[in-house]
Structure 1
């Protein structure tokens, strides 16, 4: 009996200490709690331990019968009794402390369940959470998932935060924060923790693929994130010895892609590009593609030299010269391929050694430019090869009055400006046989030494290619997954760039929006990290499932998060501008309630190479002398 009495006394003691007040207002999810006057201290003493008293940002329990409803304190107010009834001994006793809280969920069978199934009643008692209850609401990992420890609660000492692998990595992730807030560190921590847990698993190495686009060279160190990775360093600064990505011709023969590279207009240039690519495919399917192309060149030479319009004919001859290789005389001096031709203005006809070519077309075969067609070979650079087809198609279209030169030529010139850069980073093969992943599960494409055009083009090409391949595999019910990771994502997901055409922006954003909308059912997931969420398409941000939000100061960035992230509560949102470095708000499907965590450290050698330079140590002779 005494034992039973002891338990009862202990329970009563705990209840009296943990009780903080009563509900006095219920307005949907917004509940107001009147705090007991003796619970206004910052800490409470229980079993020799100091407990943090309830405050803004704290969680509390509202007891409704046998149901424990969990809520979060969003704001605090005071209320003064207006009617004096003689019961106050001190003036401060007229002051009531009021907590405004919002419901988060409830505890059932010792497990926290997010969502509302019960609303509290007036006079329901409210309590601080004990240790077990606090652990319960921060236990985000179901039994069937694998937990990964990412950090500890920033506002509660000792409470670790684990997230489930399925809930986190089978989803789209957004990591946002200003420069120096720790977002790249968090990205590295996420994937370092995952790889450490699974890299020895055979199924993981077989079925999981991870691709990281690194715009600033932060992850290409030997040990960054993980030692075992495949790093592809792309550069447009040098011509020879560059690493290159391999693409098959089929990957690049896309009218949308060429329209983007050529900044093609919708009504004139884009249809021209489509005709050219169809022409290229027709030639490629023939038994002897080079012979086919040469015959087409000869036909166009004949057509041009039979023209009566001198101006148009000379222009088209110039286009032929763009296609044909240079010609040199016996002394090694370059010669003009039309040196042997004259034009008789009166009869409006080309002449060769006094012979009128339209009247005697068989003589055209003796012209230098006709005979020089035999010297033509397809170019090694795929884009240069396509440009030859574009010129030949343009010649045909102008002759047949299907297109005007001034409408089409700018698209070809734009594409020509791309060809050298593309040749530095892409190798085009007939049938792709190399392993993009180099027998690794983690590949990094380092774009630090690439120019702006390539930084925008390569992620688009590679992402679309791998996504398309993965869709085809998924139809066969494979178990593979693909995680595409984009650090500094505003470089390619911005809708506000003024350096590119609307067509380019639309195609680029539509491609990644398709991945983020449809990718999940094909096992393709996107992780984006950016310091400027306001620059990124709101469609993309709103489709993310999990968010790691570091310090954001710019009002546009904060507003972008407020408009698109539905998981945040008021306290977490208002904390964004003042979060410490390495601290972030975690919200989304992987966490049933938003929490502010301090991200755990990773070994220094695995950190990204993005530390802010310490100017004092670099400028002062009396500091770090051993580094001289």
Structure 2
């Protein structure tokens, strides 16, 4: 009996210390609590330890029968007790504290469940959470998941925050924060922790793939995030580029991609591109592709040299010369292949060496233009090769009155602007496997030295290719997963960019929106990090499952988060501009409640290369 009495006394003592007040108003999820007057101190003493008293941002427990309802304090106010008599009471007792709390969930079978099971009643008692209950509320790892420690509660440094591998990495993740807030550090820490846990598992190395697009060269150092990774440094600044991504021709023979690269109009240019790609496919699949193309080129030369429309004929001559390789005389000076041709205006036909070619078509094969076809070879540059096919198709379409030059040539010229840059960053092969991984599970594509066109095009091409490959696999037959990581995601996911056409922008956003809407079914997951969430498509932000929110100061960015993220409470939103560096709000499907987390440190060699330079150290002479 003595032991039972002691335990009972301890329970009574604990309840008296942990009790903070009672419910006096219930309006849906919004509940008001009247705080006991003796609980107005900032801290409470229990078993020799100081406990932090209830305050804004803290959690409380409402007891309704055998149910423990958990709520978060969003605000508080004070009211003066007008009936206070100072002769018999302490001065502080004339103040009544009122807590405005929002219901979050309930504890059942020692497990916190998010959602409202039932509402409290007036006069239900309210208590602080004890240590076990705090751990239950902040336990985000499901029973069958693997926990990874991310950091600790910012306000309770002794409370670790762990995330579940399935809960986070089998989801779409957003990491947002202004420059210097710790956004890139958090991104690196997430994947560093994951790789450290699984890097020695053979199934992980076989089935998992992670691809990071690095726009500013922050992750390409040898040890950043992890040492055994594959880094591909792309550059458009040098003559040949540094390294190249390997693509198959079939990866790029897509009407959507070519329409975007050439900024093709829907009604005229897109059908022309489609005909050209069909023409290319027909030639490529023939027994002798080069011979096939040469014969078609000879046929087009004959057709042009028999034309009676002088203006169109000379225009098409220029296109033929653009396709044919240049010819040189004995002194190495380039020859004009059409210089030996004259045009008789009265009879409206070409003349060569005194022969009227429409009347003597057998003489066409003797012209320099026709003979130069023998010197033609396919270019190693895939885009250059396609442009030759475009010119040949255009010549045929103009002759057959199927298209007009002024409608089609802008699309070819636009594609030509990509020609040199694509050759610097892509190696396109006819057959074989294209491999971004080099036998590794983690690849970084460094776009720091690529120009703006390639920075927008490469992530689209690579993501489109990899996502398409995953879609072709049957879900029940594959164990493979792909996590696409995009740092500084506003570079390619912005809907307000003025540097590109609407078609190009729409296609790029639609591609990534499809990945974020449908990718989970195919094992493709997206992690995006950005300092400007207001620039990113709201569709993409709203479809993310989990968020790490660092300091955001710009009102547009905060508004964008508030409009699209339903997991945050008012206290969390209000704290966004005030978060210290390295501290973020974790919210989403994985987290039972939004929490403010201080991210654990990692070794400096694994940090991203994005530190602000130390001006004082660089400017001041060292003391001798």
Q: State the match for 1:529 in structure 2.
A: 529
Distance, in Å, in 1 between the alignment partners of 2:358 and 2:183 is 71
Determine whether 1:407 maps to 2:407: yes
Q: State the match for 1:608 in structure 2.
A: 608
Q: State the match for 2:124 in structure 1.
A: 124
Could you tell which deviates more after superposition, 359-368 or 99-108? 359-368
Q: State the match for 2:211 in structure 1.
A: 211
Change (3 A) 1:87 1:99: farther
Q: Residue by residue, what CA displacement relative to the aligned partner does 1:251-291 show, whole Å, maximum 9, x if unpaired?
A: 00111111111111121111111111111111111111111
Q: State the match for 1:28 in structure 2.
A: 28
Distance, in Å, in 1 between the alignment partners of 2:281 and 2:221 is 42
Q: State the match for 1:162 in structure 2.
A: 162
Q: State the match for 2:507 in structure 1.
A: 507
Could you tell which deviates more after superposition, 241-250 or 428-437? 428-437
Distance, in Å, in 1 between the alignment partners of 2:171 and 2:599 is 20
Do the aligned residues in 2 keep the contact of 1:247 with 1:432 (CA within 8 Å)? no
Determine whether 1:331 maps to 2:328: no
Distance, in Å, in 2 between the alignment partners of 1:316 and 1:61 is 82
Do the aligned residues in 1 keep the contact of 2:247 with 2:434 (CA within 8 Å)? no
Q: Shift of residue 331 of structure 1?
A: 2.4
Q: Shift of residue 432 of structure 1?
A: 2.7
TM-score by length of 1: 0.98
SS in 2 for 1:584: strand
Q: Shift of residue 87 of structure 1?
A: 9.3
Do the aligned residues in 2 keep the contact of 1:229 with 1:441 (CA within 8 Å)? yes
Do the aligned residues in 2 keep the contact of 1:81 with 1:94 (CA within 8 Å)? yes
Distance, in Å, in 2 between the alignment partners of 1:570 and 1:87 is 41
Q: State the match for 1:456 in structure 2.
A: 456
Determine whether 1:303 maps to 2:314: no
Q: Shift of residue 622 of structure 1?
A: 3.5
Distance, in Å, in 2 between the alignment partners of 1:90 and 1:438 is 75
Do the aligned residues in 1 keep the contact of 2:241 with 2:425 (CA within 8 Å)? no
Q: State the match for 1:109 in structure 2.
A: 109
Q: Shift of residue 475 of structure 1?
A: 4.5
Q: Shift of residue 9 of structure 1?
A: 1.3
Q: State the match for 1:52 in structure 2.
A: 52
Distance, in Å, in 1 between the alignment partners of 2:433 and 2:516 is 28
In structure 2, the gaps of 5 or more residues are: none
SS in 1 for 2:145: coil
Q: Residue by residue, what CA displacement relative to the aligned partner does 1:520-573 show, whole Å, maximum 9, x if unpaired?
A: 011100000000000000000000000000000000000000000011011111
Q: Shift of residue 91 of structure 1?
A: 6.0
Q: State the match for 2:263 in structure 1.
A: 263
Change (3 A) 1:410 1:42: same
Q: State the match for 2:240 in structure 1.
A: 240
Do the aligned residues in 1 keep the contact of 2:153 with 2:159 (CA within 8 Å)? yes
TM-score by length of 2: 0.98
Q: Shift of residue 94 of structure 1?
A: 3.6
Do the aligned residues in 1 keep the contact of 2:483 with 2:526 (CA within 8 Å)? yes
Q: Residue by residue, what CA displacement relative to the aligned partner does 1:484-528 show, whole Å, maximum 9, x if unpaired?
A: 000000000000000000010001001000100000011100000
Q: Residue by residue, what CA displacement relative to the aligned partner does 1:234-257 show, whole Å, maximum 9, x if unpaired?
A: 010112362111111110011111
Q: Residue by residue, what CA displacement relative to the aligned partner does 1:128-174 show, whole Å, maximum 9, x if unpaired?
A: 11111111111111221000000000011300000100000000000
Do the aligned residues in 2 keep the contact of 1:74 with 1:102 (CA within 8 Å)? yes
Q: State the match for 2:75 in structure 1.
A: 75
Q: State the match for 2:138 in structure 1.
A: 138
Q: Shift of residue 361 of structure 1?
A: 1.1
Distance, in Å, in 2 between the alignment partners of 1:476 and 1:49 is 54
Q: Shift of residue 311 of structure 1?
A: 1.2
SS in 2 for 1:591: coil
Distance, in Å, in 2 between the alignment partners of 1:9 and 1:28 is 36
Q: Residue by residue, what CA displacement relative to the aligned partner does 1:35-79 show, whole Å, maximum 9, x if unpaired?
A: 000000000111111000000000011111111111100000112
Change (3 A) 1:70 1:445: same
Do the aligned residues in 1 keep the contact of 2:248 with 2:434 (CA within 8 Å)? no
Distance, in Å, in 1 between the alignment partners of 2:83 and 2:605 is 67
Do the aligned residues in 2 keep the contact of 1:246 with 1:432 (CA within 8 Å)? no
Q: State the match for 2:179 in structure 1.
A: 179
Distance, in Å, in 1 between the alignment partners of 2:491 and 2:541 is 15
Distance, in Å, in 1 between the alignment partners of 2:87 and 2:208 is 70
Counting only pairs closer than 5 Å after superposition, residues 203-602 of structure 1 correspond to structure 2 as: 203-240=203-240, 242-475=242-475, 477-602=477-602
Q: Shift of residue 83 of structure 1?
A: 5.6
In structure 1, the gaps of 5 or more residues are: none
Distance, in Å, in 2 between the alignment partners of 1:169 and 1:560 is 24
Determine whether 1:149 maps to 2:149: yes
Could you tell which deviates more after superposition, 372-381 or 79-88? 79-88
SS in 1 for 2:413: helix
Q: Shift of residue 435 of structure 1?
A: 3.1
